[in-house]
Structure 1
């Protein structure tokens, strides 16, 4: 099912895994609407294991990263309580490099990865590793 033309949602009951995949390049201006759509997706309800495949998204801006990590993520986690949200971002290697080398983005992401949040967050460039982490098979 898709709430927007650029994002496809799926639920795998065998893995208890919600997946959102961006199917085409979208503009940064659609980020908030797309993420809000994730919170409404029936496939996302009831499972705390979320894989967001953003490999086709453009490089993230600091403002977008800050909004996702400080606004959207806490709301997504609250929606799933008492379960703990475990969210894996699947990113293109160029995006992973950008997250590591841009000082402002690195600061935003390090704050989001820090303990004490009501969610667990990791970024991956390999889907198999992301799924293994979501299912607790990889730390």
Structure 2
């Protein structure tokens, strides 16, 4: 596990959380995401909250890799359960995901039905957890 990412499992909510604790460069991002796939805390539940509020704004290349390469592999590890993943982002990053045409297209495709996972982005942790637990659509 990377020292810049903290993993936790909440058995009371059946929820895995990964929190980036400091700003990291894009060069470590793939390694950190790969570490999530090996975390025993993650493999015990299909409900994942990734708190990326301390990460820099993503690039289209990084977003494409996460949504088309990493997420399908994460979902495959959890079958037959269905991965439900919430990204917790700062408001400026949420706005960037909406305003940048390339990022918007990548994320819209990832949110669409037909994937082996459910994905949403939130700026409020309570709403993210409620969605993960099926209390909010």
The normalised TM-score by structure 2 is 0.99
- Count of residues in Structure 1 that have an aligned counterpart in Structure 2: 137
Which of the residues 48, 51, 60 maps onto 1:50? 48
Establish whether residue 131 from structure 1 lines up as the match of residue 124 from structure 2. Answer: no
Q: Secondary structure of the equivalent of 2:6?
A: strand
Q: Structure 1 length normalisation: TM-score?
A: 0.98
Q: CA RMSD in A?
A: 0.4
Question: 5 Å matches for 1:112-131?
Answer: 112-131=110-129
Q: Distance in 1 between matches of 2:43 and 2:110?
A: 22
Aligned to 2:32: 34
Aligned to 2:118, what secondary structure does the other structure show? strand
Q: Of 1, 7, 10, which aligns to 1:9?
A: 7
In the alignment, which of 61, 76, 79 is matched to residue 77 of structure 2?
79
Residue 86 of structure 1 aligns to a residue in which SS? Answer: strand
Instruction: Flag structure 1 segments of 5+ consecutive residues without an equivalent.
Output: none
The 5 Å alignment of 1:91-130 reads 91-130=89-128
Structure 1 consecutive aligned stretches of length 4 or more whose deviation exceeds 4 Å: none
- 1:60-100 Cα shifts (integer Å, max 9, x gaps): 00000000000000000000000000000000000000000
How many Å separate the matches in 1 of 2:28 and 2:62? Answer: 10
Partner of 1:68: 66
